[in-house]
Structure 1
């Protein structure tokens, strides 16, 4: 197949790689900071069957710095060159969201499998377009809805399958993050632009309701309230104050698979105090999922209790990875196994499209539509 990205014509075919080691090309990683450095790099380097084969950033200098930092042979200041690299079997897209569409579609047309960070696109229409384009290829595309692959969540799902607390009668969730508060780093200013597709609703709320649906079923009968508690956030190191137009606090009620659900999502918590709590109340007991991370619960570890007593969690092959990499490693491992076996166990574009439509419904509910 042929596609064009940045003036480079690519001709490759999916299916040439047998089960074994897959070379991963990571686009959007910084040598000294950022989510890709904290999660993607240790996940790739810590899992069997994967190898960090190449990195790409927006400049050759920063790509070279990342390659040196992570011991990678190939570095590109142009994402098209990484996608064309014959040693790359999987393209990992960890850039800002507006760049996702072109990178994902170029990668699959070039014969590569893809792991893309969430959000997949800037809105539901763009996600639907990406899904349509990729459906005409044989590529596996995994989506970074990593909370559902946390070991504690996996254990919780098994307990629910065995009706460990009987029928679930209600669920309450509190989900917080340090982002979207009264102060911003200069790198966070771009998140205040609604067109960027990266905000409390599309990130923190999305990961939260995705987990609710994974555990309980599809959300419906939604009522929602959006609030902006910090309307004039201050940009650190400057005299600049922004006018925030996006919510930094969300209240949501609904029914998931018939179960009443109450969700609160909060931005602007202190970085060392960003709790996550999910409580499932059943006829025969209670299951409590706990966690918390400055980036949001989806970026950290979680623990599980049944009726107040801790439940043992098996980490599997992610046991020795850093906390920030465990959940992302779950997505990589699922994608690796899907490529090997032809299965579809990793979070998919179908699920991403459904989730973006759900967020549209939540916005409509908050706006009184």
Structure 2
């Protein structure tokens, strides 16, 4: 089968973040990736910027360079458009390709808010585009192992679950110029939508969604300083919550008891010494499971570079043991940031993305609706 021809939006020399080069390129340029995909085009802010990126990343000389989303959408030799830009330009860069019926893979968050995300999902449905969203912790081996344990009946039916999480980024009184948009929640990219969003998504992928829930959010540090590249600072204000308390009742299922609770506490910043930055406990009728991570809730990306223990306690015997899990052999040589993204690419190429629970645009709208209900309760309560 011929490789899937892809266009990457946002692979740039001058990008403030390096997710395209660190999360996507390692797989796409690996032997396994090249057998399944071919980078056929880049789209950046200008054709010249795209051409510079082709040279900088030593891509094939026949890779096309585009500076316009409309020109890219008109290219009949592109099978999959991959968007890795800042969230507030996702809509404008992929809309033409969706209208043209192209398949599209967008990094999370899908859009700035649930309204824009819903519009993109509707466009994809009308055009027949296959869609993927980078909520890749769902396919992380540690997450899948926890899900497997629950489905096997290792702890009986789930009766409750609790999460304590801290991010390793932010939580202070200053932020770099490149990430200053994290202070403005209307942009759509911030620790709540990104770090919390990734985390709560893989938790729901294991336990199911809430039946009912309530949240309390707080901005503890509204006064911030933006640190510019030359070292000087300017004052700024943040309206992005840095503390979340979320609790509710999970939907009953084959593996979840009626009335089972999910309690989540999420804080931006480091925990006190001796406290794990991520601890997730699932209590069942006959035992408990715990997943922890010394890098915080980032199971989807950099947390993959470190051990993520999955432990099982049996109430009857008192036995407490670590449950092994592993990367697939082809994932191990890849940089940790790219391993779970690589799995999404692999599943899509095999036609198994839906089977393994990879999120599409409609699934992303579900998560956006949850986050918007927390961030903008006055708009979603009616």
Q: TM-score, normalising length from structure 2?
A: 0.82
Of 302, 312, 329 in structure 2, the residue corresponding to residue 306 of structure 1 is: 312
Larger mean CA deviation between 26-35 and 137-146 belongs to 26-35
Of 188, 191, 204 in structure 2, the residue corresponding to residue 197 of structure 1 is: 188
Of 351, 354, 357 in structure 1, the residue corresponding to residue 369 of structure 2 is: 357
Matched residues in 1 for 2:380 and 2:197: separation? 20
Contact 2:278–2:296 (Cα < 8 Å) also in 1: no
Q: 1:93 to 1:251 in 2, by over 3 A?
A: same
Match of 1:8?
none
Match of 2:220?
229
In the TM superposition, residue 344 of structure 1 has moved relative to its aligned partner by: 8.2
Contact 1:176–1:296 (Cα < 8 Å) also in 2: no
DSSP-derived class of the 1:88 partner:
coil
Contact 2:159–2:283 (Cα < 8 Å) also in 1: yes
Match of 2:42?
55
Contact 1:170–1:259 (Cα < 8 Å) also in 2: yes
Match of 2:169?
179
- Quick check: 1:23 aligned with 2:5? yes
Matched residues in 1 for 2:232 and 2:211: separation? 43
Q: 1:38 to 1:131 in 2, by over 3 A?
A: same
Contact 2:136–2:358 (Cα < 8 Å) also in 1: no
Q: TM-score, normalising length from structure 1?
A: 0.85
Counting matched residue pairs gives 349
Of 132, 143, 146 in structure 2, the residue corresponding to residue 153 of structure 1 is: 143
Contact 2:138–2:357 (Cα < 8 Å) also in 1: no
DSSP-derived class of the 2:29 partner:
helix
Contact 1:41–1:52 (Cα < 8 Å) also in 2: no
Matched residues in 2 for 1:243 and 1:250: separation? 19
Matched residues in 2 for 1:65 and 1:294: separation? 36
Contact 2:250–2:261 (Cα < 8 Å) also in 1: yes
Matched residues in 2 for 1:294 and 1:63: separation? 35
For structure 1, the 5+ residue unaligned runs are: 1-18
Match of 1:248?
242
Contact 1:178–1:274 (Cα < 8 Å) also in 2: no
Contact 1:175–1:204 (Cα < 8 Å) also in 2: no
DSSP-derived class of the 1:346 partner:
coil
Instruction: Give deviations 1:281-316, integer Å, cap 9, x for gaps.
Output: 222222222235479333231442223433222322
In the TM superposition, residue 86 of structure 1 has moved relative to its aligned partner by: 4.2
In the TM superposition, residue 233 of structure 1 has moved relative to its aligned partner by: 1.8
DSSP-derived class of the 1:166 partner:
coil
Match of 2:338?
325
Larger mean CA deviation between 95-104 and 160-169 belongs to 95-104
Q: 1:38 to 1:175 in 2, by over 3 A?
A: farther
In the TM superposition, residue 109 of structure 1 has moved relative to its aligned partner by: 2.5
Q: How does 1:101-112 map to 2 (within 5 A)?
A: 101-112=91-102
Q: 1:365 to 1:163 in 2, by over 3 A?
A: farther
DSSP-derived class of the 1:318 partner:
coil
Contact 2:139–2:356 (Cα < 8 Å) also in 1: no
In the TM superposition, residue 199 of structure 1 has moved relative to its aligned partner by: 1.9
- Quick check: 1:70 aligned with 2:76? no
Q: How large is the Cα RMSD of the aligned pairs?
A: 2.8
Larger mean CA deviation between 36-45 and 310-319 belongs to 310-319
Q: 1:366 to 1:305 in 2, by over 3 A?
A: farther
Q: How does 1:79-90 map to 2 (within 5 A)?
A: 79-90=69-80
Instruction: Give deviations 1:334-364, integer Å, cap 9, x for gaps.
Output: 22223x8997852111211111112233346
Instruction: Give deviations 1:74-100, integer Å, cap 9, x for gaps.
Output: 233334444444443111011122222
- Quick check: 1:42 aligned with 2:36? no
Matched residues in 1 for 2:334 and 2:378: separation? 39
